[in-house]
Amino acid sequence: MARYDKIGVGYALGRRTDPRWLTPVLSALGSAASVLDVGSGTGSYEPPGRRVVAVEPSAEMIRQRPAGAAPVVRAVAEALPFAAGTFDAALAVLTVHHWPDWRRGLAELRRVASRQVVLAYDTERHSDFWFVREYVPEVAALEASRPSAPEIAEFLGASSVTELPVPWDFTDGVFPAYWRRPEAYLDPAVRRSCSALAQTSPAAVDRGIARLRADLESGRWQAGHAELLDRPEWDAGFRLIAA
């Protein structure tokens, strides 16, 4: 059973494509006419108008792909069932940190496509998110075990690394998406769409949420984070890597 068969239930509801990230992804793909989307999930950042094939190990994620989405092959990044050079570009969005052997997966991307576009994040920056620092510090241990954007960029020999800040009203419910909307984390459905929380001990998350609820009620959170409240975007460490 793929991990996302369990933690991916309801993914399509909380994780909706945000055009402010789709635009840079499309430009990083350049003129590629054929694209392999690896760890595609529901296909949030698949480019329209090109020949796209998706690769995804989880049946639950495949089930949530919208009607008319690109054809999908059930496989893993580490063993892509395609000949060398089959695609112009390989795309991997917010998935490399889930691969048991991320270096082998990236080598596979390089084998099947001459251009690689990877959206990943700096794990140290994620661990510095107020939610982790002040409420669920246990998430930092998980982040420390995941590959970080600089390592991925170095492995691929990246030609560009672009910062993708998270707008305050971002629609794709990545873990730090609600950095300026803290009440959102009180909703179990929101927490379910974040693998960092789904993979952290439920007792630790419950403890942190109880503290956050109390701080929101008392105004302590608002007083401690006043500098965030008029910021339009925040750098949570997401990086678009092209090689």
Ligand X SMILES: C[S@@+](CC[C@H](N)C(=O)[O-])C[C@H]1O[C@@H](n2cnc3c(N)ncnc32)[C@H](O)[C@@H]1O
Residues that bind ligand X (CB under 6 A): 2, 4, 8, 15, 38-42, 44-45, 56-58, 61, 76-78, 93-95, 98-99, 195
Distance CA 34, CA 22 (A): 17
Helix axes 102-112, 149-156, angle to 10 degrees: 40
DSSP output for 198-214: HTS-HHHHHHHHHHHHH
In this structure, what are the phi and psi dihedrals at residue 201, rounded to the nearest 5 degrees?
Answer: -50, 130
Contact predicate 77/100, CB 8 Å: no
Nearer to ligand X, 43 or 182 (CB): 43
Least distance in angstroms from the C-beta of 159 to ligand X: 22
Nearer to ligand X, 104 or 133 (CB): 104
Among residues 149, 170, 161, 163, which one has the least CA distance to residue 231?
170
Distance CA 31, CA 145 (A): 35
Q: How many CA atoms lie within 13 A of 118 on its CB side?
A: 34
Q: What is the CA radius of gyration of the chain?
A: 18
**In degrees, to the nearest 5, what angle opens at C-alpha 173 toward C-alphas 23 and 11?**
105
Least distance in angstroms from the C-beta of 6 to ligand X: 10
Least distance in angstroms from the C-beta of 42 to ligand X: 6
Nearer to ligand X, 119 or 205 (CB): 119
Nearest residue relative to ligand X (C-beta): 41
Nearer to ligand X, 45 or 179 (CB): 45
Nearer to ligand X, 58 or 123 (CB): 58
Residue whose token pair is 């049946």: 59
Contact predicate 200/136, CB 8 Å: yes
Strand partners, 53: 36
Nearer to ligand X, 116 or 195 (CB): 195
Residue whose token pair is 């930092």: 140
Least distance in angstroms from the C-beta of 227 to ligand X: 29
Nearer to ligand X, 67 or 229 (CB): 67
Least distance in angstroms from the C-beta of 209 to ligand X: 21
Least distance in angstroms from the C-beta of 75 to ligand X: 7
